[in-house]
Amino acid sequence: MGYGTVGSGVVEVIENHKRVITKRTDGDMLEVSHILDLRDFPGDSHEALFTKDFNDILNDDEVKVVAETMGGINPAYDFTMKLIKAGKSVVTSNKELVAQKGLELLNAARENGVNYLFEASVGGGIPIIRPMDQCLAANNIEGIAGILNGTTNFILTKMIEEDMSFASALKLAQANGYAEKDPTADIEGFDACRKVCILASLAFGKHVYPNQVETEGITSITLEDVAYIASVHGVIKLLGQISYISENEIAAFVSPAVVFHPSQLASVNGVFNAILVRGDAVGDVCFYGPGAGKLPTASAVVADMVDAAKHTQRRKIFGWGEGSESYVVDHKEVIISQFYVRARADEGEIKRIFGDVKFLNRYGKPAGEVAFITDKMNEYTLEKKLEGVNVINTIRITNY
Amino acid sequence: MGYGTVGSGVVEVIENHKRVITKRTDGDMLEVSHILDLRDFPGDSHEALFTKDFNDILNDDEVKVVAETMGGINPAYDFTMKLIKAGKSVVTSNKELVAQKGLELLNAARENGVNYLFEASVGGGIPIIRPMDQCLAANNIEGIAGILNGTTNFILTKMIEEDMSFASALKLAQANGYAEKDPTADIEGFDACRKVCILASLAFGKHVYPNQVETEGITSITLEDVAYIASVHGVIKLLGQISYISENEIAAFVSPAVVFHPSQLASVNGVFNAILVRGDAVGDVCFYGPGAGKLPTASAVVADMVDAAKHTQRRKIFGWGEGSESYVVDHKEVIISQFYVRARADEGEIKRIFGDVKFLNRYGKPAGEVAFITDKMNEYTLEKKLEGVNVINTIRITNY
């Protein structure tokens, strides 16, 4: 359902991998029987399979597994719910839908004895849902940090490595097809926020909704910040961060963050994604790969379709329960970290407030500007200390 | 079985993760009932569980899952085979045994309706076996490259980042407990070789034995090589590399290799491991984490134990068939790549042979020494071209 970039990739991957798919399913084939899209695709070699009527799929008893690659909540939600209730497994790349309605759809899948799988909704082609499930089996997960949006990572990489302005880097991303004409969902962090919701729900067992995850994008990042942070072997990344606080409390937020080398996250460049999982026994493991793109994302959708075709009974591993309004706590209160601060001030003023902090330098630093790294504290303490200081920008330094 | 570093970690992880384990097994507990070791551990809090008699485990009908963390072929092979034939699932961290006898043991497990799982045998705590299985479901795997040995990666990192000699770095690794008193298996590449066998068997469906994998360690690497390669933003890593050639042919070898930034493998430092899998649809995905160590490896063993406890019927996904003597072909013939060459020669001589190659420089380069990067060719062509040249070292430049 949905013959856009990912959907057409799904058909392509199924057709080009008949041999491996058949091997995985012990001889059963995946055959594409219908393609739902309201648009026309004249001349497409699958023209005979197209339909504009969802009921053609819903009412076809031969259809056991459906891929939903439409995006958005409606009508994807209605369609998915109807299919699940009709006893069909659904596989999706639709992060918005999983983040917003995942709990309902997973519950419906459980009640109807089918699967609702969503590996492609986080990290594109990177296997992350099942590896995380495996980490969970013998670890208490302490936290997760991820570069979850390729568009913003591409823009930041261009700013860091080629001294390109935010505006120019965004234009280049659009010219390369990495960013939409309206780039809001990417650059304001909304896309990363949805993926944080899915990862948090899966890792800690309670649904997290997008409106619970405080989200800040990258539009305030300047080349001056990039230069100061480069001087101490750091880079600015848009990170989704999730921390376990207690059985009934987590922190989850999206914001620009300073990452120092040699963190594995610091060397993730361009449109790539990476997800770092910190377990109490295993330590840090990191999963890296293409976070978007036609064939990578389609290959994750098809792997889920194969899994659904193999396991006609419901898979038990992917599910979570209802959280509460107070489940996601205020990260500004509970997360203790260092901060990067840039301000119009003199070093003496800063030292009086923050003590003997590390001041940073950059080529062309004007008189009367300071940049420095604070000790560890929570964000409210930082804000309080900075009252009365002419602050230009502050960025959290990640603990990953 | 085996209460060494990993085995004692297994007991610790089980005891410290009762809550998550019980959640995963839908309420069943993992209870440690026996610990087999020939040594005495006076004062150990599990003293009551120790036995020196394997039959205590074999003949206990309550035992359903056994962890084998003894290492070596014998008696681990006999014990494992007997347990499988007695209808018990076995989970292992023993790469030597899986590389040498994996096919037999997997076949026996299939015949006896139990599981033989080995996630901990490759990449320590990094989930790699199941993620690779998932990549396989909708991709043709084109190749795999891995930093599979933490000891050698620690030594190379010290040489690269701190200009430490091989001998000093090895001593430091031994002092830190990263290298054995007899470091042969690590520095000669034998440990990496076993992991290559397991990854190749899993990825391409036919057993690869250690004697089929040409293996070269890191003892020939000098600080001079490190410096030349650093001048072009490269690093030397000990890589296990596997390439798909055809349904009946692969290449598989272990050797030092030049990796250029920004390859994800170039930024894997210290005792960490990383495994890069290249699929035709997904592109490059990379799995990173602690490749060894007590609790990381133990957590992978325990995750497999949980999986075996959950799935009392045999899991179908992990298996392969018999290969043939000609299955692993000569990589020097089939793998085309660039090479780094260092020689006592002058640039004119090299240009006459190799054309307009890129010459490298280093601080303190003596007159009469050259280092350069060739065009792409196979290794036999390189050797032929270098006949009559006073070569000091050659290192393959990886295609990953």
C-alpha distances in Å from residue B343, one per residue of B237, B367, B371, B383: 21, 11, 6, 13
Chain B residue numbers with beta carbons less than 8 Å from the beta carbon of A282 are: 125, 289-290, 295-296, 299-300
What is residue A137's predicted lDDT score, i.e. its pLDDT? 87
Decide if B137 and A21 are in contact by the 8 Å CB cutoff: yes
Name the active-site residue from A88, A101, A158, A195.
A195
End-to-end C-alpha distance for chain B, whole angstroms: 38
Q: If chain A, 400 residues long, is cut into consecutive pieces of 10 residues, what is the mean pLDDT of each piece?
A: 96 94 80 96 95 98 97 97 97 97 96 94 91 86 97 97 97 92 96 98 96 98 98 98 96 98 94 96 96 93 92 70 94 98 97 96 96 98 98 97
Which residues of chain B fall below pLDDT 50? none
Interface check B26 vs A, CB under 8 A: yes
What is residue A284's predicted lDDT score, i.e. its pLDDT? 96
Decide if B264 and A262 are in contact by the 8 Å CB cutoff: no
Q: How far is B264 from chain A (nearest CA, A)?
A: 7
Two structure tokens written together for B166: 């091989």
Identity at A152, one-letter amino acid code: T
What is residue B136's predicted lDDT score, i.e. its pLDDT? 81
Chain A residue numbers with beta carbons less than 8 Å from the beta carbon of B135 are: 127, 299, 303
What is residue A205's predicted lDDT score, i.e. its pLDDT? 93
Looking at the partner chain, which of B269, B280, B289 has a beta carbon nearest the beta carbon of A286?
B289
For B198, residues 6+ apart whose C-beta sits below 8 A from its C-beta are B95, B98, B99, B102, B118, B121, B122
Is there a catalytic annotation at residue B195?
A: yes
What letters, b where the CB count within 10 A reaches 16 and e where it falls short, cover B125-163?
A: bbbbbbbbbbbbbbbebebbbbbbbbbbbbbbbbbbeee
Interface predicted TM-score (ipTM): 0.94
Chain B residue numbers with beta carbons less than 8 Å from the beta carbon of A17 are: 138-140, 281
What is residue B22's predicted lDDT score, i.e. its pLDDT? 87
Which alpha helices (H) appear in A253-371, and where do they start and end? 294-310, 331-334, 347-354
Two structure tokens written together for B382: 């390189």
Identity at B208, one-letter amino acid code: V
Q: Which A positions 190-249 lie with beta carbon below 8 A of chain B?
A: none
- Residue found under tokens 């790699």: B128
The reply to whether the predicted model has a pTM over 0.90 is yes
Work out how many CB contacts closer than 8 A connect A with B: 167
What is residue B134's predicted lDDT score, i.e. its pLDDT? 79
B13 CB-side CA count, 13 A: 34
Report yes or no: B8 and B299 within 8 Å, Cβ to Cβ.
Answer: no
Report yes or no: A53 and A60 within 8 Å, Cβ to Cβ.
Answer: no
Decide if B285 and A17 are in contact by the 8 Å CB cutoff: no
Report yes or no: A340 and A229 within 8 Å, Cβ to Cβ.
Answer: yes
Decide if B285 and A287 are in contact by the 8 Å CB cutoff: yes
Q: Which A positions 91-110 lie with beta carbon below 8 A of chain B?
A: none
Interface check A118 vs B, CB under 8 A: no
